[in-house]
Amino acid sequence: MTSRSALGLSLIVVVVALGAVVGFQALTGDDSQVRDHATASYLAALPGEAVPSGSVFEVDIVAAPAVAEFSDDLSVEVWAYNGTVPGPELRVALGDTVVVNFENQLPQATSIHWHGIRVPNSMDGVPGVNQAPVEPGESFRYEFVPKDAGTFWFHSHNRGSEQIERGLYGSVVVVDPAEPTYDRDLVWMIDDVLLDGDVVVEDFNDAHETTHNGRWGNVVTLNGRVAPTIDVNPGERVRIRLVNASNARVIAPEFPGLDPIVIAVDGTLVRQPFSGQGFVMAPGNRVDLDITLPDAEQQIVVAEDFNGEGFDIATLNIRGSSADTPTFAAPVNDAIPRSDITSGLGIDHEYSLDYIPDSSGPKWGFNGRTFAETETLSVDAGELVTVRLSNGSQALHPIHLHGQFFQVTAIDGVAVDNGHLRDTVLVYPGENIDLAMAPVDVGTWAVHCHIQEHAEAGMMTLLEVDP
């Protein structure tokens, strides 16, 4: 398994987990000035409000059983959005009002979570937190205006260990017309599934998987196909929007012979582009790569080997007429602050990521509490919050914070300058992670491990952002 030390600071994938409050350090004097400056910097990094353009993007999405063709000789019964795995790619313009008329034709209740999109709290799709589950035969209308351009995705947020494994996910691309146009703009959704022949293994939340790092499948797909071949032209400049839609698998894609440059992490542009070779992606993570293809016909196999297992993701088949390669500067967000702007400040809240033995089966939680026992953390909108996370367990924990973005500031007490924001991060066993954010989106938001089996075993808590 790839270790963080082998990745370098530019490839850091880290964790946020917010649970019961265990301490608050009051700030006085110069500390208050540092805090005010950091708060203003984070608030300036992203839009505070959505700006509707007046245009409406409306789509019907139906969740129902279907058959997916993972390869020419592998057909699998799945659950799907609009009959395909992944579901439809929703490509909208920044400022569009997105309207999704959702219908549930599954035998279970379900919902849709808009992962990474800062939606109104009532549209976030978490049953029991901000909406009722959509029961079989029922419908729900989602409506929101995305605040941010970028690469996002949507997926079930009810019984995720089963429903995402069966195929309930799709992508959302919010396009900013101010950003440059690439020769190709591709979404690559990477997923895995555990099959017995051509049947999804239905022993969901198996005790071994739950106790360890969740379910890692034996079949890996890109956009619903096993190791597809993708035709491109020599010299093209392409934007590849990678999404890790797996239940639990962590990936680190390699592009041999190419120079993939990271321009966005979890949907938000970076302050300064950096190498994306082997960038570690936990479940839920997205990364946008800027790649200029060689001006010569050849085939390049994109592969990954995070845990020593190794598999091919896709083959780039570079053929045909050479493109006139665009030479524009990569898009950036130079308002992303240096993460050392919080240096010297104390930690407002400290949390542990815990395995909880239980006679009824393995449990996971924050600060020794499962979701059923969780204490909601309340913070004020527009105020800086610093958090320390401690993973004393032997498992990986990618934690997703709904409704907000944050920045990693230190790992095991060593300051780092991560020139990007995140909504989903991975903490390795034994690590301590510091992060900072200034939340602005009001409401009660879920915070949970994105290993679906851990979430089902109680690893979720709540963050309340007060106006």
Specify if 37 maps to a domain. yes
Determine, yes or no, domain membership for 161. no
Each residue's pLDDT tens digit, 215-229: 999 999 999 999 999
Structure tokens, 109: 């209740």
Domain count for the chain: 1
Which pLDDT tens digit goes with each residue over 78-126?
999 999 999 999 999 999 999 999 999 999 999 999 999 999 999 999 9
Domain, as residue range, for 430: 13-49+336-466
Residue 461 lies in a domain: yes
- What pLDDT is recorded for position 440? 97
Q: What is the pLDDT of residues 405-438, one digit of tens each?
A: 999 999 999 999 999 999 998 999 999 999 999 9
22 within domain boundaries: yes
Peptide bond before residue 86 is cis, with ω within 30 degrees of 0: yes
Pairing of the two strands 377-380 and 460-466: parallel
User: To the nearest 10°, the Cα dihedral for 60, 66, 69, 75?
Assistant: 180
Q: How many CB atoms lie within 10 A of CB 150?
A: 23
Asked if residue 396 has pLDDT above 50, the reply is yes
- Collapsing DSSP to helix, strand or coil, 333 comes out as coil
CA atoms within 13 A on the CB side of 377: 29
Strand pairing category for 349-356 and 237-244: unpaired
Q: Is 84 exposed, middle or buried (0-12, 13-18, 19+ CB in 10 A)?
A: middle
Residue 452 CA to its chain's centroid (Å) = 13
- Report the CATH number at residue 37: 2.60.40.420
Residue 260 lies in a domain: no
In which region does residue 249 sit, left (phi positive, over 0), alpha (psi from -120 to 50) or beta (all else)?
Answer: beta
Q: Which of 337, 252, 336 is nearest to 289 (CA)?
A: 252
CA distance 99 to 126: 18
In 245-320, DSSP assigns E strands to 253-254, 261-265, 268-275, 286-292, 298-304, 311-318
**Does the residue 172 lie in any domain?**
no
What is the DSSP code (8-state) at residue 182?
Answer: P
pLDDT of 5 above 60? no
Q: Does residue 408 sit within a domain?
A: yes
Q: Are 193 and 248 in contact (CB under 8 A)?
A: no
412: DSSP letter: T
- 359 within domain boundaries: yes
Indicate the SS3 state at residue 45: helix
Q: How far apart are CA 16 and CA 445, in angstroms?
A: 13
Is 80 exceeded by the pLDDT of residue 175?
yes
